[in-house]
Each structure stands twice: as structure tokens, then as C-alpha cells.
Amino acid sequence: MKKILLVHNFYGERSLGGESMVVDAEANLLREQGYEVFIYSRSNNEFLSMSTADKLHYAVNFNWSIKSKDEFARVLDTIEPDVVHVHNYKFLITPSIFEAAKEKGIKTILTLHNYRLLVPCGNFMDRRLEICEKCFDGHTSRILVKRCSDGSFKKSLLQYALYEGTKDYFQPSSNLVDYYVCLTRFMRDKLVQKGVPTGKVIVKPNFTSHEYFDMQVQRDNNRALFIGRMSPEKGVLWLVENWRESYGFLDIIGGGPLLNEVIRIVSSKPWIKVHGQKDNETAMEMLSECSFLVFPSSWYEGMPITLLEGMAKAKPVLATELGARGEMILDEVSGYLYEDKNIEDFEECVVKLKEDRHNRRMLGLAARDHYVKNFGRSKSFEILKNLYN
């Protein structure tokens, strides 16, 4: 029986975020299949309660911590895993843990949930929230000149320092990581363009923690649904500003920095209802009842769990044609893709979905079939098993 040590540095609350959901889902899947799974985790919230000396240490050594390496080495001695599979190491764990594993002859895997190994901003977006790949050529100081992180020089400098301080550990010539796991072919191609050998890159999509298959007649309340964080790159402001009464009802689920602004905009649009943050059970119930899911995100994304949940529940998705969306949503087969911020293109797709319930049903069934074949639990386990072997 193989021992797998999963490693994850939580950004904040341990129960929140798509990456955390993926770690829990994979751990449960592996245990169900007979693997012995251990999880080593830390949370950046720990920083708040640290001593002054520890805060100073991690502030100075956020790119490479000997203290973190030594602590992880002790964990490895206790568990003696066959494989170390890292999902996130920022900011307390640091890449030093890879060296600790290599010194003990333990194989290492790194899953990329975002684009932080490729560009300093981590999302291929400029300060205007437009897709930008200018730093991809290696001239990363542009982030400082353009102040790409929220228009802030301070934030941009931190992103630049994080990228420059760790990039050498993940260069093609470095052997700290044995295999990289990318969520999509789109992400894999970007990593290979950066120089990582194709043979070291595996594509393994995310999957939902539950398979939402309901063989009863699909429920359809004739309402569209948005689920997501209300932040600028998610496109929620553009969505509510452009969702017309003729499109029908739209439900909005989520919280975030733009919540109050979204509420203000929809105050004069009674056909849009903002529900705020909901627990997962309530959100999934609303997803089960909606007509279709709307995903107006303006950045590449990794592999959004919300889209997978919609597909698993046999719901067509209307989404921007950016990044790997075309791998997840088969245009005009399991949903519709539209050009980002193109209102004419968007309206044409909405009308097709709104006016034909039978079309929605056929698209939804195709979405579920696509999910089962390409993103389900059995597919994920098959890839992980082969990778670990």
C-alpha cells in the first residue's frame, strides 16, 4: 500500500476556497481506494498569532525557509511517505520542503492551481483587468512599471519579489519537482512553453467532491444562476449591469468585495435577486433547480469547481471563451461560449438558452456526459494511480 503525503498551505480559513475543496476531495478519493493518506497543512492565518521573532523570520524568508524545511524533514521521518504531493506552498511552507523530500529520496509532485509559476501576477491580467501575457517572455519587471496588482506599486513589488525569489527552484534545470500536475491542456501548454519538459507534465482535471447525478427529470425553474466570488475578475459587475429584463430572472450567489456594489446596481432591477453567501447545500439545491449557469469570468481561471458542479448536475453553462473553458464546455453541444464583454454575442447565447427548454435539457445531458467521461472521480483516480505508480 502506497503512503501519500498531501501538502497544502491554506491562504486563510481552512474550509474555504476551491483549492481546499480539491485537496479534501482527492484525499477522500485516495482513502476510498485503499491508499494511506496523510495531510501536512499550514494556514497563513497562523501569522497573526506568531511571536515577533517568527513573524520576522517568515517575512524575510517567504521564498525559502530553512525552519520550514527542517520541520517538514521531521514530518517525513515520522510518516515515511512514498510520494509527496504538494498543492500549495505559499507562504509559510515555502519551496524548501521539496529539497527536504529530495534529500531523503522521496518523489515529489506539484499541482498547479493557478499561473504563479508562469507570471508574477499569477493570473495573466493587467491593472485594467484585461488579459495580458507581456511578462510571459521573462521581462517580469513590467509588473512594477504597470503596477498590475490593483494599480498598487507595493502589491506589485510583493508579487514580483515572490516570483523572482522562487522561479529558479522550478526552472527546467531544477530537479526539485519530479512531476507537475496541470488542471487543463491549456495550462500544460503554457508550462511547456516556459521550458518544462513535456514528459514531466501530467494533465489531471479537478472533480467535484460528490457526483450530483439525479436520473429524475431535470428541474428547471426558468431562472439563470451565477455562483462565485464577487470580485472584479469574475465579471459579476458586467453581468448585472448588462442583464436585461428580457433575459428573464437571474439569481446571484456569493460574497466578496463587490457585494455592496452589486446590490446597489440590482436595486433598480427586480428581475435580478442577490442572495449573498450561501452554504454549499443551499447553493447546490439552487443549482439543481436553475435553467442554466452563467460564468462571466474575465480571466483564464484554473478549473473552476462551480463549472464542474453545474455539468455534473446536467446544467448547460454560458461562459466566456477564455483559457480552458473550451475544454470544459463544448460550445453549442453542452453549453455556449461567448466573447468576453461582447454584449451582442452574449445576448445571442442567452436568447438561445432562455427560449428553448428542450434545448436546455439536451445541452445539460451532454454536459453531464462530458463530465462523467472526462472529469469524474473514476477518471481522476485512474490518472493519480498511474502517476503515483
Instruction: Find cell 507595493 and name the residue.
Output: 154
- Quote the pLDDT of residue 216: 55
Contact 165, 171 (CB under 8 A): no
| Rounded mean pLDDT for each run of 10 residues along the chain, 389 residues in total | 93 75 94 97 92 89 94 98 96 96 97 94 92 92 92 91 89 89 97 95 89 68 96 96 98 97 97 96 94 97 94 96 97 98 98 95 96 92 96
The x, y and z cell numbers of residue 318, run together, are: 454560458
Q: Which CATH superfamily, name and number, covers 223-375?
A: Glycogen Phosphorylase B; (3.40.50.2000)
Domain 3-113+171-204 indexed as CATH 3.40.50.2000: yes
- Quote the pLDDT of residue 14: 64
Strand partners, 43: 10
CB burial class (10 A; 0-12, 13-18, 19+) of residue 373?
A: exposed
The x, y and z cell numbers of residue 12, run together, are: 486563510
Rg of the chain (C-alpha set): 22
| Residue spans per domain, the chain | 3-113+171-204, 124-165, 223-375
- Quote the pLDDT of residue 208: 85
**Given this chain, do its domains 3-113+171-204 and 223-375 carry the same CATH topology?**
yes
What pTM does this model have?
0.92
Contact 273, 279 (CB under 8 A): no
Strand partners, 320: 338
